[in-house]
Amino acid sequence: MKANRKFIEADERAVSAVIGVILMVAITVAIAATVYVYVSGMIGGTKNQTPNVACTTDSTSNRIQIATADANIKWKDIVVTVDNTSVNWQVFTASATGIDAAMSTSGATADVTAGDYILLDFTAHPGMIGNVKVTLKYTPTNSLLGSWTINVESPHIFFLLFVIFAILRNPQFRQY
């Protein structure tokens, strides 16, 4: 029996069963908390994401046209800002129907679709020439959809050219 006692040292002590149980409970709680956080993140509701909208500008007709837009975007969720406050604007659908009163999209229930456009009205300021910046902002995420600049040309010039062209095409005026 002396041979067996030869390998046992006096300093060696066993870990208490209570300490082992406490360590196992702590590890189990940590794993459960990690799994809960992971699963609740997957199950949690979808967060609002900023939709994609692409536009083109048309300086000849003073409008910004929607080229492409993600599905389920409502005009009421978009704020249109024109940097020149003296310019009136209105949003129209692709079929040229106004979606809401001028200078507003708040009551519009229509979806934003390709072909819709924002028409800028410069009739109150016929001599206005220059750049006008139009900005679209998506209110649910408070993020910028885009900014576009339109180079506004004087409507008087277009009207004058139209009148001259109409006169030149009219046979009654050719005799003079």
Secondary structure (3-state) at 132: strand
3-state helix, strand, coil in the chain (%, to 5): 30, 30, 40
pLDDT in tens, the chain (176 residues): 555 555 556 556 666 788 889 999 999 999 999 999 888 877 766 667 889 999 998 887 888 899 999 988 888 888 888 876 667 788 888 877 777 666 667 667 788 889 998 888 776 666 666 788 888 899 999 999 999 888 876 655 556 666 676 667 666 655 55
Parallel/antiparallel/unpaired status of strands 88-92 and 53-58 = unpaired
Distances (CA, A) of 133 to 32, 66, 85, 87, 136: 54, 16, 11, 11, 10
Question: pTM of the entire structure?
Answer: 0.56
Of 73, 108, 72, 77, the residue nearest 90 (C-alpha): 108
CA distance 160 to 139: 42
- Residue 14 is predicted with a pLDDT of 63
CA distance 105 to 79: 7
Cβ(64)–Cβ(81) under 8 Å? no
Query: What is the CB neighbour count within 10 angstroms for residue 103?
Result: 14
CA distance 136 to 5: 86
